[in-house]
Structure 1
Amino acid sequence: STYFNQPTAQFYRVTTDNHFPYRIYGAQQDNSTLRILHRSDGSSIGERDWEPSAGGESGHLAPHPVNPDIVYGGSYGGLLERLNHDTSESRMVDVWPDNPMGYGAIDIRYRFQWNFPILISPHDPDVIYAAAQMLFRTNNEGQSWQQISPDLTRNDPSTMGKSGGPITKDDTSVEYYGTIFAIAESHHEAGVIWTGSDDGLIHISRDDGESWTDVTPRGMPEWMMINSIEINPFDPAGAYVAGTRYKSDDFSPYLYKTDDYGQSWELITDGIDAEHFTRVVRADPEREGLLYAGTELGMYVSFNDGEDWEAFQLNLPITPVTDLTIKNDDLIVATQGRSFWILDDLTPLHQLQGNWEDAAVEVYSPRPSYRMGGSASSDPGNAGHNLPNGVIVQYYMAEGFPEPDTDPDAEGDEPAAGEADEKMPALSLEFLTEDGESIRTFSSDAEEDSDKIEGVEAGFNQFVWNMRYPNAEGFDGIIMWAGNLTGPKVVPGTYQLRMRYGDYDETRSFEILPDPRISATQEDMQAQFDFLLSTNQKLTETHQAIKRIREIRDQIDLVVTPLEDRAGYDSLKDRAAFIKEELKSIEEALYQTQNESNQDPLNYPIRLNNKLASVNRLVNRGSYRPTNQSVAVRNELVTEIDSELENLTRIVEDELPMFNNLVREQAIPAVWLDGGDSN
């Protein structure tokens, strides 16, 4: 493994915006800041999906919650940039633009750390906080700043000397000490603000910065860097703090929680390795007590508000986790050396109950899914992996539970006397409308690959439904030009998922949401769906007719071919020839039978089925109601197809009975012996 075949970015922090799809922001060491889409409309997340953003390599970023094209980004030296991505306008709005390069922390007025925090208020998008050793606030986009706190650090001169030496100094603020390193404002109560310093102090203001209280946990080791503060989503008085002391040669994890505005604290690190020092803790906003912790050597999770923790590494590389954030039920991870990672879809963790590992099998309600474009390449190369497009179904299979029967016809050894047959019925996932009408069923023993559930394993499994009805039926060897049989995508609304496996039979509801970027209305998408569903049904009917024609012709040949050189059967032969000619006329009207390769339609004009499949392909594009002309062409084609299908019905109901009567009347032998005799 080399740095050429894996992401190697070192991110300090991570945040997201309210764009759709949301973007991830971070500053990367020895590079730039950037923002990148968490999913794309393509098959991977590539260069087209990211761009540089505000600030520099070391800074926090704060995208505006209403207009995410406005981004505030910091950098060393106290630099603070306001960038308008829409217009490319950049404005520097430093709190105090007195360039500190080359000076020690003790020699400057405001000690802005290399990675000084920037925060937009959750209550007012015009209020922005930034911190040196004091906390500052602006409500006019940085035109002016107000100091709203005293020095909230230890302000110990012994920690503020010049950096570097003995040959040369290196004062860039990367080693400035005695600074506020973390800020959080309660989303429950405006004006409740928490700060944590890099020299081990925690303060709170409950009056919008008018007064401050030191709430540093009693007994907490001194000189701890307070790296993150998280407000409890379910308790206005609650907060969580992550701290580190690795700079003091102490690699222990330090996580604390309070439920009384910092009057008392509890150390919550049971289960975290003794040398996995902690940088960040985040609380899940959907499930009370569900916490995530990022450490120097990976991830941990707690389901009981930190009373105990367990490793939560999954496929995440063993790497320093520098920050975490949660957005739309995704957990986004910033690492120091392996770039950004996302744990898509936290909803199974929200739904776990009690001793969930004791369950033999369980399916979880899918989270709301957007009806939009995009796909997920299994091998995106140097690009990022895209989110699978569709409804993501998560289900659990216990260790050692019998595997689903994926080959019911396979022969195997009979179980010995007294032993149970461990083979279970097939696993199936059925998608239904809100009213219970079946849309599509997938199964581990399905005959068609497109309907088959593959790779079921013990533990958590994932299945993705593309939100579509089944494709129209085709037939062997079909050749078409610019046409497809793709089934329609369902419209936004409420749907159901039913999972069956042995005695397990459970149904869950879920929502499909419209892409908020598009202009199509619910009525537009319903019109598109109705058009495509009826078109697919007509294509299926057409292709079933073609297969029926071929079956009839083959059966006629079975009867007539032995009679070709025999006298006395002229009326039967004539009737067979007439029917076959009629069938040929119908088939050639429905399908170009001369097409044998993909380029043949350029020489042999396509027929009705291909024309209808072409309309299906065109209207399937995007989320729009069908054009008037698409409706007109479809109606003309359906009229012509129906005429041919009526001819086929006439032959089946009128001509074939006469043919069969002739066969019976002429007593066609089942077996011909040599010399023409039969027996």
Structure 2
Amino acid sequence: SKLRPSEQGQAGQGQALPVHLISEVTAHLFTPRAATRFASSSGYGRPVVPGTNYRHIGAFVVAYRRQEKPGGEKVDRYLDSGQNPTNGVIVHYYLKEKPTGEVTLTFLDANGKEIRTFSSEEKQGEQGKQSEVEETGGKKKKDEKKEPRVPKEAGANRFVWNTRYPDPIKIEGYDDPAYGLEGPLAPPGTYHVQLKLGDQGAESSPTRTFQIQKDPRLATSQEDLQTQFELLLAIRDKASETHSTINVIRDIRRQVDEWEHRAKGHAIHETVVADGEQIKKKLTAVEEELLQVKAKKQLDTLDFPVKLSGKLAELSGVVASADAAPTRQAREVFEELSAHLDVQLQQLRQLIATEVAAFNTLIRDSSVPAIIPAG
């Protein structure tokens, strides 16, 4: 049967349709069932490898195998313990035909502000909790954490959002020896999900409203959970600012090294090297306040003091360790770490405005070519 005019309007506005008419539309997004917010811990263990892995959860050690579904979703299958139900918001949608272009699912808060967008296109995740290990040619290879992909098969599709906000920006080319910092869990409340096909406009993309509910066992108030979420989000943002600053420092250092190399054989070489070394020395001083550069693996943090990045990660873990309002001490520690970061940022800005600017002028006024062919 064909859609009546009123039903066509419902489909275009993203409203629910009778089940027997769903197959008449190009795409249909079902209203997600309310999800209960459970703050759970997956324990700790070594980086995941193919085959059987082991994880400490409280006083127990459990064995599991990690499976990756076609959409990129990773599922841990426990071998000697029970399997919990899916933890998160389960989104079901119908596609009449397999689209040739991109399909996205966007999650929004009650005010319509975007939280996260997931795509059907495979992309390397820029933020991640911990790199995983894969066996490649007999050698262990570390792989960037990937965002789960949105399925786009003809017929019924399913996607699970773990209800977390985005992770902090990642330090490029660096695996934090401490367990990485995750984005905070969304607090209980009203949320929206939008399904978009290709260049389809937001006004014609089906949108559904759903609820994230508080764990019914908790006596914690909504206000306390909101306060906890806001502090965790602020910690994540400070971690992103810290990591972005480290990325800037390393990029400047790399460019200085390149110009020192290019200046070889030119009269200006000694000046470029002398000025460049001074800049790199001051960059390193700031970097070493933000990150423990001597720690190459987790146990190294026992030998070398934890720096700002690691302290923010630990603070986030403490604040998120219970469904409760953050303590006064946690807020005070955050203010202290934020102030320390501000000092380092000011030093970096001053360095860029003075010595880096002078270095740029030196290079611009020199006769050093921008491109030097090898050979």
TM-score by length of 2: 0.74
* 2:87 match: 389
Q: What is residue 369 of structure 1 aligned with on the other side? A: 35
1:489 to 179, 185, 197: 185
Q: 1:673 to 1:473 in 2, by over 3 A?
A: closer
| Equivalent position amino acid for 2:124 in 1 | E
Q: Deviation at 1:458? A: 2.7
- 2:124 is matched with 448
Match of 2:6 in 1: none
In proportion to residue count, which structure has more strand? 1
Counterpart CA distance in 1 for 2:239 and 2:79 is 38
Instruction: For 2:373 and 2:181, locate their aligned partners in 1 and report how far apart those are by CA, in whole Å.
Output: 48
The reply to whether residue 627 of structure 1 matches residue 303 of structure 2 is no
SS at match of 2:19: coil
Change (3 A) 1:396 1:671: closer
Shift of 1:566: 5.2
Offset from partner CA, 1:28-63 (integer Å, 9 cap, x none): xxxxxxxxxxxxxxxxxxxxxxxxxxxxxxxxxxxx
Amino acid at match of 1:445: E
Structure 2 partner of 1:660: 360
- What is the correspondence of 1:274-313 to structure 2 with a 5 Å cutoff? none
Tell me which residue corresponds to 1:505. Answer: 205
Separation of aligned partners in 1, 2:348 and 2:339: 14
Aligned pair 1:552/2:218, yes or no?
no
How far is 1:373 from its partner? 3.4
Q: Is the 8 A contact 2:177 2:295 kept in 1?
A: no
C-alpha displacement of 1:642? 1.2
SS state at 1:355 partner: helix
Partner-residue secondary structure (3-state), 1:583: helix
Amino acid at match of 2:23: E
Q: Following the alignment from structure 1 to structure 2, what is the Cα–Cα distance between the partners of residues 480 and 614?
A: 12
Decide whether the 8 Å contact of 2:312 with 2:337 is kept in 1: yes
Summarize the alignment of residues 192-211 of structure 1 with structure 2, pairs less than 5 Å apart.
none
Aligned mate of 1:590, from 277, 287, 290: 290
1:668 to 1:387, Cα distance in 2 relative to 1, 3 A: same
Q: What residue is the counterpart of 1:466 in the other structure?
A: 162
1:594–1:473: structure 2 CA closer, same or farther, 3 Å change rule?
same
Q: Which letter maps to 1:473?
A: I
Q: Which residue of 1 aligns with 2:140?
A: none
1:382 positional shift? 6.7
Change in 2 beyond 3 A, CA 1:354/1:581: same
Task: Write out per-residue CA displacement over residues 291-312 of structure 1, whole angstroms, 9 at most, x where no aligned residue.
Answer: xxxxxxxxxxxxxxxxxxxxxx
Contact kept? 1:445, 1:452, Cα under 8 Å: no
Structure 2 residue aligned with 1:356: 22
Aligned in 2, Cα 1:385/1:457: closer, same or farther, shift over 3 Å? farther
Q: How does 1:32-181 map to 2 (within 5 A)?
A: none
| Distance in 1, Cα, partners of 2:249 & 2:117 | 29
Aligned-residue offset at 1:484: 2.9
Q: Using the alignment, how far apart are the partners of 2:80 and 2:260 within structure 1?
A: 63
Amino acid of the structure 2 residue aligned with 1:478 = Y
| CA distance in 2: counterparts of 1:592 and 1:527, whole angstroms | 30
573 and 482 in structure 1: CA distance in 2 versus 1, 3 angstrom threshold: closer
Aligned 8 A contact 2:188 2:214 in 1: yes
**Is 1:563 the equivalent of 2:259?**
no
The residue type equivalent to 1:364 in the other structure is: F
Q: Displacement of 1:632 after TM fit? A: 1.4
Matched, 1:426 2:126: no
SS at match of 1:451: coil
Contact 1:586-1:644 within 8 A present in 2 as well: yes
Question: Does structure 2 conserve the Cα–Cα contact (< 8 Å) formed by 1:483 and 1:611?
Answer: no
Structure 1 residue 507: Cα displacement: 1.1
Say which structure is richer in helix: 2
Q: Is the 8 A contact 2:103 2:150 kept in 1?
A: no
Q: Which residue of 2 aligns with 1:608?
A: 308
Trace 1:635-674 onto structure 2 (pairs within 5 A): 635-670=335-370
Sort the Cα spacing of 1:673 and 1:480 in 2 relative to 1 into closer, same or farther, 3 A. closer
- Look up the SS of the partner of 1:552 in the other structure: helix
* Selected match of 2:233 from 510, 533, 557: 533
Q: CA deviation at 1:564?
A: 5.1
Please tell me the residue identity of whatever aligns with 2:182. Answer: T
Equivalent residue runs for 1:233-252 within 5 Å: none
Task: Give how far 1:542 is off.
Answer: 0.6
Q: Distance in 1 between matches of 2:361 and 2:80?
A: 69
Q: Any runs of at least 4 consecutive aligned residues in structure 1 with deviations exceeding 6 A, and if so which?
A: none
- Kindly provide the amino acid, as one letter, of the partner of residue 656 in structure 1: V
Q: Distance in 2 between matches of 1:380 and 1:597?
A: 27
Counterpart of 2:105 in structure 1: which amino acid?
A: L
Q: Distance in 2 between matches of 1:480 and 1:634?
A: 20
2:12 corresponding residue in structure 1: none
Query: Between Structure 1 and Structure 2, whose CA radius of gyration is higher?
Result: 1
Q: C-alpha distance in 2, partners of 1:529/1:602?
A: 30
Structure 1 residue ranges without an equivalent (≥5)? 1-349, 404-422, 675-679
Letter of the structure 2 residue corresponding to residue 430 of structure 1: T
Pairing 1:572–2:238 present:
no
Alignment deviations for residues 334-385 of structure 1 (CA, whole Å, 9 cap, x no partner): xxxxxxxxxxxxxxxx964332223322111112111113589553447654
Cα contact 2:106–2:194 (8 A) shared by 1: yes
* CA displacement 1:226-259 (0-9 Å, x = unmatched): xxxxxxxxxxxxxxxxxxxxxxxxxxxxxxxxxx
Q: Distance in 1 between matches of 2:80 and 2:332?
A: 46
Residues 89-139 of structure 1 deviation map (CA, whole Å, 9 limit, x = unaligned): xxxxxxxxxxxxxxxxxxxxxxxxxxxxxxxxxxxxxxxxxxxxxxxxxxx
Q: How many residues align?
A: 303
- Identify if the C-alpha distance between structure 1 residues 362 and 568 changes in structure 2 by more than 3 Å, giving closer, same or farther: closer
The reply to whether residue 618 of structure 1 matches residue 318 of structure 2 is yes
* Letter aligned with residue 443 of structure 1: S
Give the partner amino acid of 1:427. Answer: V
| Contact 1:483–1:617 (CA under 8 A) maintained in structure 2 | no
Q: Give the Å deviation of 1:614.
A: 0.7
Identity %: 34
The within-5 A match list for 1:394-405 is 394-398=92-96, 401-403=97-99
SS in 2 for 1:594: coil
Query: Secondary structure of the residue that 1:551 maps to in structure 2?
Result: helix
Distance 1:478 1:630, change over 3 A: farther
* Other-structure match for 1:438: 114
SS at match of 1:599: helix
User: 1:351 and 1:624, CA in 2 relative to 1: closer, same or farther beyond 3 A?
Assistant: farther
Displacement of 1:570: 3.2
- Scaled by the length of structure 1, the TM-score of the pair is 0.42
